[in-house]
Structure 1
Amino acid sequence: MNKRYVFGAMLLASVMGVSAQKKMSAPAGGKQISDQLIGIFFEDINNSADGGLNAQLVQNGSFEYSPSDRDGWGPGTAWRTIRPGHSLGFLEAKQQEPLHPNNPNYMRLNIERVGHYYDYTGWTGFGVQNDGFDAMTVKAGEKYDFSFFARNIKGADKDVRIVIAEPTGWGKDPNVLGETTIKVSGGAWKQYSATITAGKDCKTAVLQILALQTGVMDIDQVSLIPQDTYHGHGIRRDLAETLEAIHPRFMRFPGGCVVHGGGDGFWNTYRWKLTVGPKHQRKQLKNTWGYHQSMEIGYHEYFQLCEDMGMEPLPILPCGVSCQGTNGGWGMKDQAQDTIAMAEMDEWVDEALDLIEWANGDVNTKWGKVRAEAGHPAPFNLKYLGIGNEERISPEFEKRFKYIYERVTKAHPEIIIVGTAGPGSHKGNPDYDNGWRIAEELNMPILDEHYYEPREYFQKSRQYDSYPRDRKTKVYLGEYAAKDKKLIDALSEALYLLHVERNGDVVSMTSYAPLLARKNGTQWNPDLIYYDNDRVYPTCSYYVQKMFGESAGNYYYGDCVKIDNPDKSEGDGMLQEQSVVLNTKTRELFVKVCNATANTKTAKINLSRFKGMKPVATQVTLSGQPEDENNFDAQPIAPVTKQVKIKKNMTLELAPYSFTMFKIQCK
């Protein structure tokens, strides 16, 4: 056995729940499973970064939008000229002597006249207004940090009024919610900042920047962020706390098709090195889903979020081959793939090696120093690294994947590499078959499978029951979901996750996808969590993920629950499934039973083998009508939690269309 596999096996053993410091012994009859089964997968799709997880309220704050992002877009998108008090002037998008070469666009304000009527005492100045993402939501008493870069090109130093305002209609001065004044001086770029307190709640707020003296002034990298963010790291708090409630063990990022350029080709590949420096120096990118990525959430923020939430980071890097959807390839008989010449592949090897150094290296290393200078001298302790994202497993892919894999594993045998089984990970699919062949040839630790299917698939398929138990390669189910978001779809996913849990010796990790979707900015449905500027709207599937995340364990028992008169689905599945999981580290026992039928069922539960159970447990039940759906207009489905008395032998009545979980503490 080679050195690299020894290291990988040691880490994987930890993932699978093997620990020399167990707090509780496991009774006979169980099997060790992964306690890392529930994670999350973040991809910037559905405007889930800017306008979503990014707490930034300003849209296009660096004026980098362009028609290549979306037809009709440009540096002035989300901005408008304002000239209260009959002021005059005009705007110019410029690129001469920019703030940074990676951030070439900025906005020039040519201020020709500032309102000065003899009897005029109201709103005045010339400047710009940003409307945010469908306006901005601010809250009374909360503080907002404003900043921008500016330089005074012509005329006297400029007093610049920064206002959070509530528009009141044409011809009327807006209501001031909070304001400050900044003096811009000197002809060189300089960053200015201030804190503004909102005077009242408002869901239609805007940001206004008004110069009060004539002349010429340039502005760039405009920002308005609430001080109240998740762990103070610029992440929208309510969205992050909704994710945190899942108890995810890991987070995969940054995609998805975003990783390798999606349908745009390899030129649009995500480059992590351009996302870890100061935000005004990051190189922004067209998003493959039809908008723009500011990179204000980059690799540093992803790793920081993992640390704040107690998740293992799982970054995914490209492997020299583009998405097969390039240039409309999804509909073509011979799907197109852009490829990197083998003579240039060392650059992509370095992309992986340098990432490991950035995440884990000492502050005296080249990339460890970059991490430290960004405010995180301690290493992030990266354990996992994904190479490739559901590419077609072509000969070109195989050659490039192996080239990277062999060099990275030789340099870092301690890193667990996650490979890919291509899109549509089912037996008989050539990509799936070739992906598994490569994984077994390389003794790969984990292989990533993806599939989106109708609810019936998740009801009937039990594919992991037949996976070989002697494989060294474990499964990461990295993208999956039923193709609708009704309660019956969520229950079908619960049935399938109970199957996955039963096979937790084969499947080590799972993550539903996509994760987030913005109202009025969604490209893919269904998604786990929807939101607007003001609220978060969890789906039925979200609550299933949350219940499984709350009930992770490292031992599985399949013979403690018997369901009377079970109904069989088509294929190998059942419309009722059960699982009993023990977490020896927390001394918690979980009993989960799902009934996805219209009939009441009875389950007999025997927990006599488990010692020291406390007599009162927490019961969580998700139930409703099968076509119920949580959306922006109504949230009819949510789990009901109560405290109940339990016994070692119990009979449980299972309501139609329900998923029930017991959390039992052991002494």
Structure 2
Amino acid sequence: MNRRATLAALLMVATMGLCAQKPMTAPAGGKAISDELIGIFFEDISSSADGGLYAELVQNGSFEYSPVERDGWGPGTFWRMIRPGHSTGWLEPRMDNSIHPNNPTYMRLHVERAKEYHDYRGWRGFGIQNDGFDGISVRDGKTYNFSAFFRNIDDKGKQIRIALVEPQMGWPPKDPKLLADTIININSKSWQKYEAALSVKEYSPKAVLQILVLDKGEIDVDMVSLIPQDTYKGHGMRTDLAEALAELQPKFMRFPGGCVVHGGGDGFWDTYRWKNTIGPKEQRKGLKNTWGYHQSMGLGFYEYFQFCEDLGMEPVPILPAGVSCQGANGGWNMWPTQAQDACPMEEMDEWVDEALDLIEWANGDPATSKWAKMRADAGHPAPFNLKYLGLGNEEKISPEFCERFKYIYERVTKAYPEIVIVGTAGPGSHANNPDFQNGWKLAEETGMPIIDEHYYEPRDYFLNKRQYDNYPRDRKTKVYLGEYAAKDKKLIDALAEGLYLLHVERNGDVVSMTSYAPLFAKKDATNWNPDLIYFDNQRTYLTCSYYIQQMFGQSAGQYYYGDCVKFEGDAPDACQPMENVHYGQSVVLNVKTRELFVKLCNASDETKTAHIDLSRFKTMKKPALRSYIIGQPDDENNYEAQPIFTKGETFKAEKKFDFQLKPYSMVMLRYKL
């Protein structure tokens, strides 16, 4: 296909759903399924937030890093003192008279001499330098918004030079390469926020930010920030990472975790509290991260909800349920016998209020609700229309957990019966797991609408098991497969996941939602493997599993047809993939967009002939579109593309035909009706 034809096909892909007619009537033979099957699960793991999706380029801009979070850390971590031109001075971390109690630490710069020693040297001043997250990547022609709070200590105003530079190595020492700079005049003796725009002249993958005081005296600095002007929809998310998520067409996003929900694993003192993540960023409270680093909360609940709105996703916030993670205080070494820390029952109303106030913040009227007014004051007067709320994350389903879950659940559902509560089935969702059994027992006792199952397994599990075929069809509680992945990132693992998702679609009357996990991982700061999207400061690396998820995200529908595709050699009634069969199919109809999707997966080493009969769909248009992924089973797409990915190839639509499904491939055919 030539470039012009490819662009035309991709344009057709982008506009097929936008040009939808009124909803159609589904032909006979279909089974109603969830059209929210594919979502995303965001957890701040592997530097997914700071240094990742959240586009902030300065690390430890609030000077709040601490040895409580990591040995050897302190307020000056990821900062260094600089004194070009033989300037002199010293740095003093302080906590008195700070901007806000939630951010008590700031840095005082004592400048003794700020003039250059040799007149011929152009650089001077005393100050600090931030190297960002393994360097600051800036692009030529782009503008970056700098901001910081400054306070002048003495009576004399001061000039401060803000510069983006690229250090120059070698001997004798050289002045850094100037990429952008500006001068700020500081006169206020109280904390004041100063802002400037830095327009970069030249690309650099390893720039640094310098703050240089050009006059003698003392000055305080806090909440240093550098964010590209070009963020996703102007809301502070890194554009390429956000676009990669948008192309998945997810129907919901679960956040903020994961184990992050329980805090840093040290007990209740550092449990994630959503109220500390909203409001002005200088008033937010940073937190030790479960995965061994600091969360600035620049990406907080307001940004999560706004991002869901930007991508058309349902927000699914998860709140703690009054017990700690069973991994806290070294509990993983003793699990499953380790008892959880549990909040005393007489203090449980605090955790109930966490849920009730969140609903009010998200959905309430600013005229009558203080929490809704906070949302409006932040820039979003309209409600976020929260529909789902998760309580707990894969806790051990102990008597302590059950008692506290019920306490919160009953009060939330009484106050807001319209909110759909998502419970948990514990850390391992298999039939022989006692937490799984207890989780489902709790679901039946409470009548919870959705239960969250998690499992990470070798690829053979996904290739050979079809567990939802055996689930009772009369349960009121639906399944959310909230965390899952095959334990590698080769093509065969992605195809195993694709085969399993065909099974999930077939059981879309039982399973209402799924999300692959983890979502993001920074290339050299990875806590968990595999992940869906890897990235560094310059680019993203989309895995094979990403393209499988993309196929399913783009093919949501309300009806499943199990008898439109038969594979040659199967028994007459074997139209569905069964256990230990490494190929399968799914036909899904979206009556809202009037689109039909045929997905075929072959994780075996033999070509499979599929007999396809779409005769019942009378209004099929021409042409249709074909997307596929194909390669060798051990191919990866981490850093060097190996399998072949295509999307948007046009072909002539037929209602009855045979399709040769090649080994180690997955294909999606997309029809307009």
Q: TM-score, normalised by structure 2?
A: 0.94
3-state SS in 1 of match to 2:261: coil
Q: Please tell me whether the aligned partners of residues 129 and 209 of structure 1 are also in contact (alpha carbons under 8 angstroms).
A: yes
User: C-alpha distance in 2, partners of 1:118/1:510?
Assistant: 64
Question: What corresponds to 1:480 in structure 2?
Answer: 484
Question: What corresponds to 1:236 in structure 2?
Answer: 238
User: C-alpha distance in 1, partners of 2:539/2:333?
Assistant: 37
3-state SS in 2 of match to 1:154: coil
Question: What corresponds to 2:44 in structure 1?
Answer: 44
* 1:631 matched to 2:638: yes
Q: CA deviation at 1:115?
A: 2.7
* 1:383 matched to 2:387: yes
Q: CA deviation at 1:263?
A: 2.7
Q: Please tell me whether the aligned partners of residues 166 and 208 of structure 2 are also in contact (alpha carbons under 8 angstroms).
A: yes
Amino acid in structure 2 at the alignment position of 1:109: L
Q: CA deviation at 1:636?
A: 4.4
User: C-alpha distance in 2, partners of 1:130/1:271?
Assistant: 29
User: C-alpha distance in 1, partners of 2:182/2:270?
Assistant: 40
Alignment of 1:462-473 (within 5 A): 462-473=466-477
Alignment of 1:26-425 (within 5 A): 26-117=26-117, 119-154=119-154, 156-169=156-169, 171-261=173-263, 263-332=265-334, 333-364=336-367, 365-425=369-429
User: Alignment partner for residue 463 of structure 2, among 459, 462, 482?
Assistant: 459
User: C-alpha distance in 1, partners of 2:118/2:140?
Assistant: 35
Question: What corresponds to 2:17 in structure 1?
Answer: none
Question: What corresponds to 2:613 in structure 1?
Answer: 606
User: C-alpha distance in 2, partners of 1:644/1:417?
Assistant: 44
User: C-alpha distance in 2, partners of 1:570/1:297?
Assistant: 42
User: C-alpha distance in 1, partners of 2:515/2:654?
Assistant: 34
CA RMSD in angstroms, aligned pairs only? 1.6
User: C-alpha distance in 2, partners of 1:655/1:393?
Assistant: 44
The number of aligned residues is 646
Q: CA deviation at 1:46?
A: 0.4
Go from structure 1 to structure 2 and tell me whether the alpha carbon gap of 1:571 and 1:267 turns closer, same or farther (over 3 Å shift). Answer: farther
* 1:577 matched to 2:584: yes
Question: What corresponds to 2:9 in structure 1?
Answer: none
Amino acid in structure 1 at the alignment position of 2:626: Q
User: C-alpha distance in 1, partners of 2:118/2:385?
Assistant: 66
* 1:431 matched to 2:435: yes
- List per-residue Cα deviations over 1:55-91 (Å, max 9, x = no partner): 0010110001111221111111111111000111111
User: C-alpha distance in 1, partners of 2:409/2:582?
Assistant: 41
Q: CA deviation at 1:118?
A: 5.5
Question: What corresponds to 2:499 in structure 1?
Answer: 495
Q: CA deviation at 1:239?
A: 0.2
* 1:653 matched to 2:660: yes
Q: CA deviation at 1:211?
A: 0.4
3-state SS in 1 of match to 2:552: helix
Q: CA deviation at 1:201?
A: 1.0
* 1:593 matched to 2:600: yes
User: C-alpha distance in 1, partners of 2:641/2:300?
Assistant: 34
Q: Please tell me whether the aligned partners of residues 629 and 643 of structure 2 are also in contact (alpha carbons under 8 angstroms).
A: no
User: C-alpha distance in 2, partners of 1:573/1:444?
Assistant: 33
Question: What corresponds to 1:17 in structure 2?
Answer: none
Q: Please tell me whether the aligned partners of residues 589 and 663 of structure 1 are also in contact (alpha carbons under 8 angstroms).
A: yes
Q: CA deviation at 1:138?
A: 0.7
- Which deviates the most, 68-77 or 473-482? 68-77
Q: CA deviation at 1:182?
A: 0.2
- List per-residue Cα deviations over 1:184-234 (Å, max 9, x = no partner): 112211100011100011111110000000111110000010000001011
Q: CA deviation at 1:579?
A: 0.3
User: C-alpha distance in 2, partners of 1:552/1:514?
Assistant: 22
User: C-alpha distance in 1, partners of 2:106/2:55?
Assistant: 22
- List per-residue Cα deviations over 1:352-395 (Å, max 9, x = no partner): 00000000000121100110111111100000000000000000
Q: Please tell me whether the aligned partners of residues 155 and 216 of structure 1 are also in contact (alpha carbons under 8 angstroms).
A: no
3-state SS in 1 of match to 2:51: helix
Q: Please tell me whether the aligned partners of residues 144 and 197 of structure 1 are also in contact (alpha carbons under 8 angstroms).
A: yes
Go from structure 1 to structure 2 and tell me whether the alpha carbon gap of 1:22 and 1:285 turns closer, same or farther (over 3 Å shift). Answer: same
Question: What corresponds to 1:4 in structure 2?
Answer: none
User: C-alpha distance in 1, partners of 2:577/2:364?
Assistant: 52
Q: TM-score, normalised by structure 1?
A: 0.95
Q: Please tell me whether the aligned partners of residues 264 and 288 of structure 2 are also in contact (alpha carbons under 8 angstroms).
A: no
- List per-residue Cα deviations over 1:96-133 (Å, max 9, x = no partner): 11111000110111111113335334111000010000
- List per-residue Cα deviations over 1:604-654 (Å, max 9, x = no partner): 100000111013110001110100011234454533541111211111001
Q: CA deviation at 1:658?
A: 0.2
- Which deviates the most, 346-355 or 330-339? 330-339
User: C-alpha distance in 1, partners of 2:442/2:580?
Assistant: 29
- Amino-acid identity (%): 67
User: C-alpha distance in 2, partners of 1:587/1:502?
Assistant: 20
3-state SS in 2 of match to 1:414: coil
User: Alignment partner for residue 452 of structure 2, among 448, 451, 455?
Assistant: 448
Q: Please tell me whether the aligned partners of residues 491 and 643 of structure 2 are also in contact (alpha carbons under 8 angstroms).
A: no
User: C-alpha distance in 2, partners of 1:194/1:119?
Assistant: 28
Q: Please tell me whether the aligned partners of residues 628 and 637 of structure 1 are also in contact (alpha carbons under 8 angstroms).
A: no
- List per-residue Cα deviations over 1:10-54 (Å, max 9, x = no partner): xxxxxxxxxxx9710101111100000000000000000000011
User: C-alpha distance in 2, partners of 1:309/1:641?
Assistant: 21
**Gapped runs of 5+ residues in structure 2?**
1-20
User: Alignment partner for residue 616 of structure 1, among 618, 623, 631?
Assistant: 623
Amino acid in structure 2 at the alignment position of 1:662: L
- List per-residue Cα deviations over 1:484-515 (Å, max 9, x = no partner): 00000000000000000000000000000000
Q: CA deviation at 1:565?
A: 3.3
User: C-alpha distance in 2, partners of 1:351/1:289?
Assistant: 24
Alignment of 1:529-548 (within 5 A): 529-548=533-552
Q: CA deviation at 1:266?
A: 2.4
User: C-alpha distance in 2, partners of 1:162/1:116?
Assistant: 17
Question: What corresponds to 1:24 in structure 2?
Answer: 24
Amino acid in structure 2 at the alignment position of 1:187: K
Q: Please tell me whether the aligned partners of residues 51 and 133 of structure 1 are also in contact (alpha carbons under 8 angstroms).
A: yes
Q: Please tell me whether the aligned partners of residues 577 and 585 of structure 2 are also in contact (alpha carbons under 8 angstroms).
A: no
**Gapped runs of 5+ residues in structure 1?**
1-20
Q: Please tell me whether the aligned partners of residues 140 and 202 of structure 2 are also in contact (alpha carbons under 8 angstroms).
A: yes
